């Protein structure tokens, strides 16, 4: 479960590395700048959501949104 932009950035970086891709590889495949990938992996909280979703898709990842479960149940 990811609860912050920092956690998302770390997860994206780990997934990219597992796939033996560089930040430049992802930037080129995603038609975005390398700076965006660097900022995403650094956890910048103000990035454009659609671009983030596009990068996740490139890495074979998806976002699932669901209601929180009650704690202790």
The 10s digit of each residue's pLDDT in 40-64 is 999 999 999 999 999 999 999 999 9
Residue positions counted in the chain: 73
> What's the token pair of residue 42?
């650094």
Task: Give the H/E segment covering residue 41.
Answer: helix 34-42
- Which residues are within 8 A (CB) of 5 and not within 5 positions of it... i.e. 6 or more apart? 43, 44, 45, 47
- Which residues are within 8 A (CB) of 36 and not within 5 positions of it... i.e. 6 or more apart? 27, 47, 51, 55
> What's the token pair of residue 55?
């990068």
**71 pLDDT higher than 60:** yes
pTM of the model: 0.89
| 70 vs 58, more confident | 58
């Amino acid at each position: 479960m990811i609860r912050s932009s920092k956690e998302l950035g770390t997860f994206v970086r780990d997934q990219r590395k597992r796939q033996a891709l560089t930040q430049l590889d992802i930037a080129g495949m995603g038609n975005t700048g390398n700076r965006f990938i660097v900022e995403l992996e650094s956890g910048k909280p103000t990035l454009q959501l659609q671009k983030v979703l596009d990068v996740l898709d490139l890495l074979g990842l998806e976002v699932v949104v669901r209601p929180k479960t009650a704690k202790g149940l």
